[in-house]
């Protein structure tokens, strides 16, 4: 349902994403791992149409994000990193507004908002102003807006960043449930999330894929039974000096 084909993004002399190719199928939760600056967010922004690629293409449900961007975006639910919210709105008001932006109206809007609130466990705060919510509930509100149109594909950028352990657990479990009938791509640098939520993971470094497999395959590939050891062996650390 997501097909990334030789995707490349150049910012001046810096190549942030370098000839990247991978797929995510229906029922698959793909963890997108890598150190800070590896190209994860840039890749997601190209798939969702926020950045044009320098070369290559991405298809969502067979639709090119370059040739048919508006049509491709109707298939995507997107949770960007540090997703914006209107803090003076209630949760209910914000989700109604987002549904209207999506072109959902009438009873369909009412049903979509109610389903998103129920899916993300927002019933207790639905009429509460967003500026009074905890960070965990704000995250859930951001996730809820990505689900309003019942997309076939979910792209989530650091969905558990900044949450406490209980909140992280809840979001991971929600991602697993949603992944049963959607294709989900979510980025993280938290290695424990691979085993907790993913059916498969890729590790990227400097814009290239350096490892790809199920959690069990990646752990076996490490040679030590540690995903952390594999991650450290295939990625470049900030403390390493560039070659002269």
Q: Are the C-beta atoms of 197 and 172 separated by less than 8 Å?
A: yes
- The phi and psi torsions of 52 (rounded to 5 degrees) equal -80, 135
- Rg, Å, the chain Cα set: 18
DSSP H helices in 78-152: 91-101, 106-119, 135-147
Distance CA 186, CA 9 (A): 19
Residue at 228 is within a domain? yes
Vertex 19 angle, CA 14 and 21, to 5°: 140
Which pLDDT value is given to residue 238?
A: 58
Boundaries of domain holding 130? 82-150
Q: Are the C-beta atoms of 95 and 117 separated by less than 8 Å?
A: yes
> 52, 31, 49: which is closest to 40 by C-alpha?
31
Which pLDDT value is given to residue 162?
A: 76
Looking at the fold, whether 21 and 132 belong to one and the same domain comes out as: no
Looking at the fold, whether 145 and 184 belong to one and the same domain comes out as: no
Looking at the fold, whether 157 and 222 belong to one and the same domain comes out as: yes
Q: Are the C-beta atoms of 186 and 156 separated by less than 8 Å?
A: yes
Which pLDDT value is given to residue 237?
A: 66
Which regions in the chain score pLDDT beneath 70?
A: 237-244
Q: Are the C-beta atoms of 100 and 148 separated by less than 8 Å?
A: no
Looking at the fold, whether 65 and 97 belong to one and the same domain comes out as: no
Looking at the fold, whether 103 and 133 belong to one and the same domain comes out as: yes
Which residue, 150, 173, 191, sits at the end of a domain? 150
């Amino acid at each position: 349902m997501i097909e990334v084909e030789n995707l490349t993004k150049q910012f001046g002399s810096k190549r942030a994403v370098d000839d990247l190719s991978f797929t995510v199928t229906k029922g698959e939760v793909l963890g997108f791992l890598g150190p800070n600056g590896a190209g994860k967010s840039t890749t997601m922004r190209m798939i969702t149409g926020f950045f044009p690629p320098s070369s290559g293409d991405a298809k969502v449900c067979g639709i090119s994000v370059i040739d048919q961007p508006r049509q491709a975006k109707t298939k995507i639910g997107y949770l960007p990193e540090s997703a914006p919210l209107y803090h003076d709105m209630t949760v209910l008001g914000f989700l109604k507004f987002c549904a209207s932006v999506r072109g959902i109206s009438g009873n369909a809007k009412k049903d979509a908002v109610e389903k998103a609130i129920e899916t993300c466990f927002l019933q207790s705060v639905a009429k509460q102003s967003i500026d009074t919510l905890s960070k965990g509930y704000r995250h859930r509100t951001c996730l809820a807006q990505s689900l309003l149109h019942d997309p076939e594909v979910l792209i989530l950028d650091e969905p558990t960043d900044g949450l406490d352990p209980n909140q992280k657990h809840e979001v991971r479990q929600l991602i697993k449930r949603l992944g049963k009938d959607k294709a989900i791509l979510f980025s993280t640098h938290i290695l424990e999330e691979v085993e907790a939520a993913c059916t498969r993971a890729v590790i990227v470094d400097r814009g290239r894929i350096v490892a790809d497999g199920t959690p069990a395959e990646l752990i076996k590939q490490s040679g030590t039974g540690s995903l952390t050891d594999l991650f450290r062996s295939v990625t470049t650390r900030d403390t390493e000096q560039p070659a002269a």
